[in-house]
């Protein structure tokens, strides 16, 4: 089955710093989403981005489907950005959503 790898696994930032999270996937996909999981377990939708580039405030994402990767950019990080960021894909021709292992982000004040 498709493999989804996220990097880095852990990231510690000083407030105000920028960061880039990466998601590599091993096969073609229909859908790709980025989520932020807060400390209470809620998965918050960040981007639905099977291809192309999107921006929402300090966050932006780019998916290059032909090269099988997606990037999530966080600019001017804040302590509230702390948590786990997941990339999730649906393989082409399939329906099961496969999650990566996540990137654990801690932003220090």
Partner 1 sequence: DAGVTQSPTHLIKTRGQQVTLRCSPISGHKSVSWYQQVLGQGPQFIFQYYEKEERGRGNFPDRFSARQFPNYSSELNVNALLLGDSALYLCASSFNGNTEAFFGQGTRLTVV
What residues make contact with partner 1 under the rule CB under 8 A? 30-31, 33, 35, 40-43, 45, 48, 86, 88, 90, 95-102
- Please, what is the minimum distance in Å from the beta carbon of residue 2 to partner 1? 12
Whose tokens are 């809620």? That residue is: 42
- Please, what is the minimum distance in Å from the beta carbon of residue 15 to partner 1? 25
- Please, what is the minimum distance in Å from the beta carbon of residue 44 to partner 1? 8
| Best CA proximity match to 58, nearest among 85, 77, 37, 79 | 77
Which lies closer to partner 1 via its Cβ, residue 43 or residue 65?
Answer: 43
Which lies closer to partner 1 via its Cβ, residue 20 or residue 30?
Answer: 30
Which lies closer to partner 1 via its Cβ, residue 18 or residue 48?
Answer: 48
């Amino acid at each position: 089955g498709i493999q989804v790898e996220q990097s880095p696994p852990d990231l510690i930032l000083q407030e105000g710093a920028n960061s880039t999270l990466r998601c590599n996937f091993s096969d073609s996909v229909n859908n790709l989403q980025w989520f932020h999981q807060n400390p209470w377990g809620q998965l918050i939708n960040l981007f639905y981005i099977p291809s192309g580039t999107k921006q929402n405030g300090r966050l932006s994402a780019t998916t290059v489907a032909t090269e099988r990767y997606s990037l999530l950019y966080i600019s001017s990080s804040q302590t509230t950005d702390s948590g786990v960021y997941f990339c999730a894909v649906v393989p082409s021709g399939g329906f099961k959503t496969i999650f990566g292992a996540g990137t654990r982000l801690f932003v220090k004040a």
